[in-house]
Amino acid sequence: MDYLKFLHAGLAAWVKETAELCQPDKVELFDGEDASYGRLCALLIESGTFRKLSQELRPNSFLAESDPADTARVEERTFICSREKDEAGPTNNWVEPQTMKARMKSLFAGSMSGRTMYVVPYSMGPVGSSIARIGVELTDSAYVVVNMRAMTRTGLPVLKTLGKSGEFVRCLHSCGHSEKSRGKYDKTWPCDPERMAIVHFPEERMVWSYGSGYGGNALLNKKCFALRLASDRARDEVWLAEHMMIVGVTNPEEKRRYFAGAFPSACGKTNLAMLQSCLPGWKVETVGDDIAWMRFGGDGRLYAINAEAGFFGVAPYTSAKSNFNAMRCMDKDTIFTNVALTPQGDVWWEGIGWDAPEGTIGWDQGMAADGQAVPVLGQAKPLAHPNSRFTARASNCPSIDANWDNPTGVPISGIIFGGRRSTTVPLVYEARSWSHGVFVGSTLSSETTAAAAGQVGKLRRDPFAMLPFCGYNIGDYFAHWLSFGNMQGLQLPRIYQVNWFRKGEDGKFLWPGYSNNLRVLKWMFERCEGSAGGVDTPVGFMPSPGDIDTEGLGLSPEKLEKCLEIHKEDWMTEVALIRTFLLGLGDRVPNRLFKELAYLVERLGPR
């Protein structure tokens, strides 16, 4: 700790203050080195949190099993504690900051007793980038530390960049101590789900999280910092912190364009970010799969960085067919959580592409006292949790773009919004203007998924895929996006809506999806180049069936037409739903969005 104190007095003082509150047995600075990572993985194996997978099948990879009560984001336990309630807005839970601090301090008092408090400095974005920002997480979970090491740039290089007086985001996390015994999980997965809380103090650039050890509840670099706090900061500093993937597309003439895309969970965002090309001469490369921080440069173009350094992806239904590159990311150096374990010491999940070997153990079927897997017969429920995850470094991705770590970022030509809709929304259309595009993003909708606790399959509006992640009033967030349309000298990206999930009368998907989504990206690319046609429709500019490259696809013209159909009655129903949604967000929703809604009604024409 002497080195830490020497480098940054404010950080050292915060560490000391937190240690006095949480009472860890010791405090340890995580330097980010391989040796430190390996030592923590060994400790996790010793405690029963990690199980080492077959070195022949998955070198340097591990499987963790969480407490069944701690498997996903819990939005009702997540709070934005801004000084004024209106700043948090209608989509966030709010408690007065001092009241919440008193409540949280009572939970943190002694919460790290018997454990080590790890100090984890990390950079969101390439170290030293003008778009990047630094955070420090204090946590009593070695599981969190090793995941953060895969997800971010961690350790001493970050501290050196921070210097003696630099600004950093303070992230405090404790798994806590449950008031009642949780059986084997008391040792392998400590948590306190009954008192769980994830709390953001945006004006102080601070996050406190207690009671959960899972995902974005505990990896505070991810949704908490990268989106909730960063979106508020981006508003103040005139940039964008978004829940978006970034992908590079190169045509046969070696012209490259980059696209950012926002998709709610289970809508194909990671698959699109790691897409394999299905078209001769076309190349697709990955910049990031989840978080994009974007700022307009001096040349007027929008530049984006991947704020992360790894992937925290949903495992179920990831396969060589749906996402070949993601599967290759997991070949080695991967942390799996809540997937099934095969007798061969490998992992398995629903939709992986092959049947589970006999004797495969479900994620929550337990371990014997000696740590050996307990076989379960007659398994009816999924063997892998629907929100089970893999954590892998971006550098392991075979499709990684050469500029993925460029501190300047990559120039964005187009922004894509996509949801999971079985009806109404066509395969693709282009917004008419920036404000129309903001309207499209603000009214994005999709079916709910297992990434958030609660009802699965219910349609909900998820504006910009940011509903759980916008750190301030959502109406002001819309206004922030609209404001760029009024600035002079900006080369605004085109905006698109896609829907890979439209179904026919037989209930089957009309569009084949997966690698064939490049055919839609190709149309967008060529629209940006000015070489592709677009049909003027009530919802926006759409390709005619002949504008989509279907060579070798085997898709009938009739089915492609159905992918692109606009049904007026469906859209009038959609208009009513959108109006109700926007009105429900309060009086800070910009009037411009209601004007765009009125334009849509006008274009649809009389009933």
Domain boundaries, the chain: 2-30+65-237, 241-309+405-604
pLDDT range class, residue 6, cuts 50, 70, 90: low
Q: Cα 260–478–494 angle (5° rounding)?
A: 35
Cα within 13 Å of Cα(380), Cβ side? 0
Q: What percent of the chain has pLDDT over 70?
A: 95
pLDDT range class, residue 459, cuts 50, 70, 90: confident
Residue in 146, 140, 135, 134 with CA at minimum distance from that of residue 118: 140
Average pLDDT in the 404-421 region?
A: 97
The dihedrals phi and psi of 144, each to the nearest 5 degrees, come to: -65, -45
**487 conformational bin, left if phi > 0, alpha if psi -120 to 50, beta if neither:** beta
Q: Is the pLDDT of residue 202 over 90?
A: yes
The dihedrals phi and psi of 152, each to the nearest 5 degrees, come to: -135, 175
Residue in 48, 61, 44, 142 with CA at minimum distance from that of residue 315: 61
Helix count (H) and strand count (E) of the chain? 18, 28
Least confident of 309-323, 356-370, 540-554, 586-600: 356-370
pLDDT at position 112, please? 98
User: What is the rounded CA–CA span in Å between residue 185 and residue 68?
Assistant: 9
pLDDT at position 2, please? 62
The token pair that represents 366 in the structure block:
């337990």
Quick one: 312 exposed, middle or buried, by C-beta within 10 A (0-12, 13-18, 19+)?
buried
- Collapsing DSSP to helix, strand or coil, 360 comes out as coil
78 residue type, one letter: T
Per the annotation, the verdict on 267 as an active-site residue is: yes
Distances (CA, A) of 96 to 90, 99, 100, 138, 519: 15, 5, 6, 24, 50
Give the strand pairing for 206-210 and 169-174.
parallel
What is the tens place of the pLDDT at every residue in 382-411? 999 999 999 999 999 999 999 999 999 999
Of residues 171, 267, 278, 528, which has the active-site annotation?
267
Helices 591-604 + 568-583 axis angle, to 10? 170
The token pair that represents 264 in the structure block:
């709610």
How many CB atoms lie under 10 A from the CB of residue 164?
10
Average pLDDT in the 272-278 region?
A: 96
Distances (CA, A) of 221 to 282, 355, 361, 379: 34, 36, 32, 36
What is the tens place of the pLDDT at every residue in 567-587? 999 999 999 999 999 999 999
DSSP state letters, 259-273: EEEE--TTSSHHHHH
pLDDT at position 370, please? 38
460 residue type, one letter: R
pLDDT range class, residue 374, cuts 50, 70, 90: very low
What is the tens place of the pLDDT at every residue in 72-90? 888 899 999 999 999 999 9
Average pLDDT in the 285-305 region?
A: 97
pLDDT at position 73, please? 84
pLDDT range class, residue 607, cuts 50, 70, 90: low
The token pair that represents 141 in the structure block:
């979970």
Residue in 335, 310, 330 with CA at minimum distance from that of residue 320: 330
Computed over every residue of the chain, the mean pLDDT equals 93
User: What is the rounded CA–CA span in Å between residue 366 and residue 67?
Assistant: 10
User: What is the rounded CA–CA span in Å between residue 161 and residue 91?
Assistant: 35
pLDDT at position 372, please? 46
Q: Which of residues 488 and 379 earns the better pLDDT score? A: 488
Residues 374 and 380: beta-carbon distance below 8 Å: no
Beta bridge partners of residue 257, listed in sequence order = 249
pLDDT range class, residue 266, cuts 50, 70, 90: confident
Least confident of 70-74, 252-256, 524-528: 70-74
CATH topology of domain 2-30+65-237: Phosphoenolpyruvate Carboxykinase; domain 1 (3.40.449)
User: What is the rounded CA–CA span in Å between residue 463 and residue 440?
Assistant: 8
Average pLDDT in the 250-271 region?
A: 94
Average pLDDT in the 204-217 region?
A: 97
Residues 171 and 188: beta-carbon distance below 8 Å: no
CATH topology of domain 241-309+405-604: Phosphoenolpyruvate Carboxykinase; domain 3 (3.90.228)
Longest dimension (CA), the chain: 74
Torsion from C-alpha of 362, 365, 368, 371, nearest 10 degrees = 50
Residues 273 and 399: beta-carbon distance below 8 Å: no
